[in-house]
Structure 1
Amino acid sequence: MSKYTIPPKLFLEMGAWRQPLMMVDRIEDYKYGENGYIRVIKHVTYNDSYLIGHFPGNPIMPGVIVAEIFGQASEYFSFISDVCDIFAGRFGTSLTSLRDFYSVIHSPELVAIIRERRAQVRGVLASQNLKFKGTAYPGDTIEIISRPAFTDPVGFKHYSVTASVGKKNISQGTIINFRETLLQG
């Protein structure tokens, strides 16, 4: 587990989701830039609402929920990168890792940037091309890694994603998110 934990209230403000659709339990690692990535964790619990009806008596994590975790992890990557860009532009300090981000997490300046940016950005999971190789069960911990691949001319952001339970890869492929910046007025 990362020692750089984002405070729960701020973590909620960074994401556009609330329970029961909040699929990322914590951000484990983040690296800014062209070769950047984000690594997030999702714990599959026995009382997750989507497991109740998904093969009663033999519950497994639905693939569509894994896709949602991919989409949310990828949006967290883009959102944190936006915040790092704004912070560098305003204060001349580059935040290139989760450690750097965490070093200023309690500063009023970073909190203000997070709130400002969250009010400006909206997005959706637009498309997915995923291959499932395994299953996650209640009690498992899913580790997701999302790496930006490219942004197409229309503004869709493509990410290379993988999901693992322990050392077993359970899914991989491409997630495409669409993001837009709303006009502030």
Structure 2
Amino acid sequence: MAKYSIPPKVFLEMGGWRQPLMMVDRIDDFKYGHSGYIRVVKHVTYNEPYMSGHFPEDPIMSGVLISEIFGQASEYFSFLSDICEIYHQQYDETLVSLRDIYNKINDENMLDIIRQRRSQVRGKLASQNLKFKEAAYPGDTIEVTSKLAFSDSNGFMHYSVSAHVGKKLISQGTIINFREVT
């Protein structure tokens, strides 16, 4: 488990997903800024509802669901970056890591920022260009890394993503999320 994990209730408030489509089990690392990234974990279990229908004789995690992990991880990255920026603007304090966020997570000001930003932003997986090299099986732990490559003025965020099971690279490429801020 990560040293600085975000409490489950707050973690759920940060994302727009609920079971059975919540594809991020844990955020392991985050860095805010120009060379920022997020690293998340998804544990693949036998009892997940989509496993029984995908190659029943030889169940594997479907590529489209790995794409969903990429999309959700990337949106978490953008969301955490947003709250770091907002916190800095409001309180003139710089947060750059998961540890910094963890240290503020019980602060009512931070919780208000999280709730308010969650109500303002909607992110959607818009496009993908991924290469799948290997499969993920029940019992595997998928570690996904997402880095913002660039964003455009129309709200499209382009992320460089990769997924590993242990040291084995199973997928990599580009995910494009569309983000609306109201």
Taking structure 1 as the reference length, the TM-score comes to: 0.97
- Give 3-state SS (helix, strand or coil) of 2:173's partner: strand
1:35 alignment counterpart: 35
Q: Shift in Å at residue 13 of structure 1?
A: 0.1
Q: Shift in Å at residue 112 of structure 1?
A: 0.5
1:72 alignment counterpart: 72
- Give 3-state SS (helix, strand or coil) of 1:70's partner: helix
Gaps of 5+ in 1: none
Q: Shift in Å at residue 87 of structure 1?
A: 0.4
Q: Shift in Å at residue 34 of structure 1?
A: 1.1
Matched, 1:151 2:151: yes
Matched, 1:101 2:101: yes
Amino acid at match of 1:90: Q
1:59 alignment counterpart: 59
Gaps of 5+ in 2: none
Which whole-Å deviations, capped at 9, do the CAs of 1:117-158 have from their partners, x for residues lacking one?
Answer: 000001210000000000000000000000000002322000
- Give 3-state SS (helix, strand or coil) of 1:78's partner: helix
Matched, 1:118 2:83: no
Runs of 4+ in structure 1 deviating by more than 4 angstroms, as ranges, are none
- Output the CA distance in 1 between the equivalents of 2:155 and 2:109: 28
- Output the CA distance in 2 between the equivalents of 1:97 and 1:172: 24
2:162 alignment counterpart: 162
Query: Size of the alignment, in residue pairs?
Result: 182
Amino acid at match of 1:58: D
Q: What's the C-alpha RMSD, in Å, of the aligned pairs?
A: 0.6
Which whole-Å deviations, capped at 9, do the CAs of 1:20-77 have from their partners, x for residues lacking one?
Answer: 0000000000000110000000000000111110001210000000000000000000
Amino acid at match of 1:37: Y
- Give 3-state SS (helix, strand or coil) of 1:51's partner: coil
Quick one: percent identity of the two aligned structures? 68
